[in-house]
Amino acid sequence: MIVMAAHASPAQVRAVVARIRLLGFTPHVSHGRERTIVGVVGHETDSDLEGLGAFEGVERVVRVLNDYPLASRDFHPADRVIELAPGVSLGGAQVLVMAGPCAVEGRSQLEEAAAAISGLGVRVLRGGAFKPRTSPYSFQGLGEDGLRLLRSVADEHGLLVITEVLASEDVELVARYADVLQVGARNMQNYRLLQACGASDRPVLLKRGLAATIDELLQAAEYILAGGNQQVALCERGTRGFEPTVRFSLDITSLPVLKRLTSLPVVVDPSHAAGRADYVPAIARAAVAAGADGLIVEVHPRPQEALSDGAQSLDPSSFAAMMEQVEGIALAVGRTAR
């Protein structure tokens, strides 16, 4: 909708209408008592209607439909369910819990983590083989060796694998070992990577960027969907706020907002939001209560020895206690978590 300024002249309105036609859209002019509004009907692909805002006599350009048609609930009204394996789904009645270390550090660490989580009914093992670290001198992950370890340890325990893919050129490699591709917060707007994930047949967990709006998150998801991959889930992991006592501020309000705007499953990562292990269970409970379809939680056999994110990683017994609580909340909202 092009909202003309209060005193726009008929010539200015005509210029806007002509431009809309030239761009291949259909204009609908309505003259109000105060001002004229020009409706624009059509599909915006290669033309950019924002440029109309620079015309004389135009007050603003208002988008009526959103920019994420495939991700929107209008397109797919029913909640979407992603089947990761027979009996393991994201988006259904079961709140899917994914757990494991921040980074794959070696076989024994991963085995201990896998044993701890699989004993509690968790079906998906997380662990980074390629790590996006703030400092180039921090542990960067084991790369393909880490992927091999993930696959072999997960198979031993009957688990699925979710792991981060950092770059578009790695999508094929990571997809060879992983059941679910994780796109990290720092890469939410890496459009080449999103397009490469769109061409993959693996489900994708797309994490919200550190300073991304919900609209930007949904448009990022749209890249993957538009590429032909319909198996996309979103992940809230906290955005950067002004509060220094937590690592990130988890936007719990975005759960009902996302549920309204999209039918894609929504996962919450309480670990990266909290930054401290003792905050994790409360955030996980709140997430499930607010409608999260899944949780992704960092668990390390010995958090004090972790090569990354030790402070926010739960040890096996705290994770077991959290699972008990989460199951209670899940039951209270008509779901199950184990």
**Residues 71-110 contacting ligand PEP, CB under 6 A:** 102
Q: Which does 101 bind (CB under 5 to 8 A by kind): Mn ion, ligand PEP, none?
A: none
58 beta partners: 4
Quick one: which segment of 6-14, 23-31, 149-157, 301-309 binds Mn ion (CB under 5 A)? 301-309
- Residues 6+ away with beta carbon under 8 Å from 278: none
Distance in Å, CB of 129 to ligand PEP, minimum: 11
Of residues 167-186, those binding ligand PEP (CB under 6 A): 184-186
Six token digits for residue 62: 């208002």
Q: Is 247 in the site for ligand PEP (CB under 6 A)?
A: no
CB-nearer residue toward ligand PEP: 239 or 262: 239
- Residue 267: HSE in the Cβ half-sphere, 13 Å Cα cutoff: 27
Q: Which among 334, 234, 208, 264 is positioned nearest to 71, based on CA atoms?
A: 264
Question: In the bound complex, which residue of the shown chain has the CB atom lying closest to ligand PEP?
Answer: 184
* Shortest distance, position 271 Cβ to Mn ion, whole Å: 7
164, 140 contact by CB (below 8 A): no
CA–CA dist 132, 146 (Å, integer)? 14
Question: What share of residues in the chain are helix, strand, coil (percent, to 5)?
Answer: 40, 20, 40
Could you tell which of ligand PEP, Mn ion, none binds residue 188, using a CB distance below 5 to 8 A set by kind? none
Instruction: Give min distance, CB of 128 to ligand PEP, in A.
Output: 5
Closest to ligand PEP by CB, 184 vs 265, is: 184
Chain mean position to CA 42: 29
Mask: binding to ligand PEP, 258-297, rule CB under 6 A, as x and -?
Answer: -----------x--x-------------------------
Q: Which run of H or E residues covers position 327?
A: helix 316-332
Q: Kindly tell me which residue out of 157, 207, 247, 300 binds ligand PEP, with binding defined by CB under 6 A.
A: 207
What is the CA 164 to chain-centroid distance, rounded?
A: 12
Interaction residues for Mn ion, span 23-82 (CB under 5 A): none
Instruction: State which residue, 309 or 327, has the beta carbon closest to Mn ion.
Output: 309
Question: If DSSP codes are grouped into helix, strand and coil, which group holds residue 139?
Answer: coil
Q: Which of 19, 237, 285, 300 binds ligand PEP (CB under 6 A)?
A: 237
What lies within 8 Å, CB to CB, of 204 at 6+ separation is: 180, 181, 182, 183, 197, 224, 229, 231, 232, 233
**What is the rounded distance in angstroms from the CA atom of residue 33 to the CA atom of residue 154?**
67
**Under rule CB under 6 A, which residues in 12-31 are in contact with ligand PEP?**
none
Nearer to ligand PEP, 222 or 309 (CB): 309
- Identified binder of ligand PEP from the candidate list 91, 128, 294, 301, rule CB under 6 A: 128
Q: Is 209 in the site for ligand PEP (CB under 6 A)?
A: no
For the record, the structure tokens of 94 come out as 């079961």
Binding segment toward Mn ion, per CB under 5 A, in 47-55, 101-109, 189-197, 274-282: 101-109
Question: Which residue's CB is nearer to Mn ion, number 151 or number 300?
Answer: 300
CA distance 41 to 324: 52
Unique residue bearing structure tokens 């978590």: 337
Q: Which residues of this protein are in contact with ligand PEP, per CB under 6 A?
A: 102, 128, 132, 184-186, 207, 237, 269, 272
Q: Which residues of this protein are in contact with Mn ion, per CB under 5 A?
A: 102, 309
